[in-house]
Amino acid sequence: MKIKSILTNSFGILISRITGLIRDVLMASALGASFWSDMFLVAFKLPNLFRRIFAEGAFTQAFMPSFIASKHKGVFATAIFLRFLLFLILLSIIITLFPEFITKLLAWGWSDELITQTATMTAINFWYLDLIFIVTFLATLLQYKEHFATTAMSTILLNISMIIALYIYMKDDPQSVAYALSFAVLIGGTLQVIAHLIAIKKFNLHKLLVGGWNYRDKKDVKEEQKHFKSLFLPSILGNSTPQISAFVDTLLATFLATGSVTYLFYANRIFQLPLAIIAIATATVLFPSVSKALKHGDEVSAYNNLDKAFWLLLSLLGAAMAGGIILAEPIVWLLFESGNFTQDKTIETVKVLQMYMIGLLPFGLAKLFSLFLYASHRHLKAAKISLYSLVVSITFSLILMQPLGASGLALAGSIGGWVLFVFTVKEVGIERFVAIVNSKKLLYFVIFILAFSFLLYEINIFLLDWIRESV
């Protein structure tokens, strides 16, 4: 297992998420949990949804195995890039011309007046999707060369762009702040593209793409493109359960009290931090190696990586889950409670965060086990499993949203995460899972989590007393 690469990737993601949290703290102070914060977050939701689907799995896990198997990599890569980019540009033009329609789909529970106010921001933010596809495509080529740092760190550029916009417009009216953030998203996306182009040049991958343009006889790559297409759509569904669930939650939250969209957003931002720096970072690094090993029939090496990564993720995600649940109030208070983000908003966000954290462990481990489905081209099976999870999540969202509000939506997502994990493990092989956990390490893990949780409980009591005294 490539610990150095995992740590490098984790560090880059950590720095990106820290700057993201700084951005969110400033945004919470500037906009609070208001109509304007809800408007911007709804407008940013769709491109952000696709960013997570593309950047954290779907495109890479369909493209990488096909790219590794391709006999004419430059032609194959160039053809896929052009088709996707042209489609996204056309889609962005349509959204720009008819933004009210897509905004209404994002926020069914809003009035026509709110939809009209948000529509322009939706059109602006949607162009970020074109930029992030370019980033994701170039990032996948870099991953093939086992270079992860550029992609892990590049989100910093987006966050810095938005932080600068917040700093400049902090004291302006909320509408100006929301629009400044929307344009900052596009500036940040452009900077991400530039950073990846520099890395592509450094690794001489630009020669591969140029070769793809110049190759004349392209008939022999049609089968490769056809195979990629057969993997891509299932891969989208297979990787997008958490994102689609969060997207549906945002839509349902528009029917709840004002601020519900914002509570979900900030709580999910905290939830995504350990998921990204632990699970996604590990899965991203392992995927090229696992894909190459399985292609060459080296299952021993592939599953040896699974064994080692499982215990690493179980320990780190288990500790993070306990910390997120027990220390939820001090965490939210420290990060967000200032300016227009008042104590009552902190309490509501805490409830949502605790429900999200219940799903941290299963979502993270499912990321790991699903690698072997995608690396072995079982994308359709992964998609079916993801669909089961999504149906369960949406069903429980509808059941729990009225009695529990926004926290009920978060709990429903966590329930869906456990369904995703159980079915993914079953497909990879129950016998393999049993062989991994049938170890003294499991007892050590249970003892560690119990002791760690007790320590966190004592720390939480101390911090809450300190917070009450300081308020």
DSSP structure string for 313-355: HHHHHHHHHHHHHHTHHHHHHHHH-BTTB-HHHHHHHHHHHHH
Cα Rg of the chain, angstroms: 22
Task: Name the residue range of residue 275's domain.
Answer: 3-470
What is the per-residue pLDDT across 99-112, written as a single tens digit (0 to 9) for each?
Answer: 888 887 767 767 77
Query: Would you tell me how many other CB atoms lie within 10 Å of the CB of residue 232?
Result: 18
Confidence of residue 339 (pLDDT cuts 50, 70, 90): low
What is the per-residue pLDDT across 191-201, written as a single tens digit (0 to 9) for each?
Answer: 999 999 999 99
What is the per-residue pLDDT across 201-211, written as a single tens digit (0 to 9) for each?
Answer: 988 887 777 65
Sequence-ordered list of residues with C-beta below 8 angstroms from that of 416, at least 6 positions apart, any chain: 241, 245, 359, 389, 390, 392, 393, 396
Distance CA 143, CA 125 (A): 27
Confidence of residue 214 (pLDDT cuts 50, 70, 90): low
Confidence of residue 321 (pLDDT cuts 50, 70, 90): very high
138-153 average pLDDT score: 85
255-280 average pLDDT score: 84
Confidence of residue 415 (pLDDT cuts 50, 70, 90): very high
233 CB burial (10 A radius; 0-12, 13-18, 19+): middle
What pLDDT, on a 0 to 100 scale, did the predictor assign at position 470? 64
What is the per-residue pLDDT across 64-105, written as a single tens digit (0 to 9) for each?
Answer: 777 777 777 778 888 888 888 898 899 899 989 988 888 877
Query: What is the tally of structural domains in the chain?
Result: 1
Share of the chain above pLDDT 70, in %: 89
Q: Which range has the worst mean pLDDT, 47-56, 384-393, 461-470?
A: 47-56
Sequence-ordered list of residues with C-beta below 8 angstroms from that of 424, at least 6 positions apart, any chain: 366, 369, 370, 373, 382, 385
Length of the chain: 471
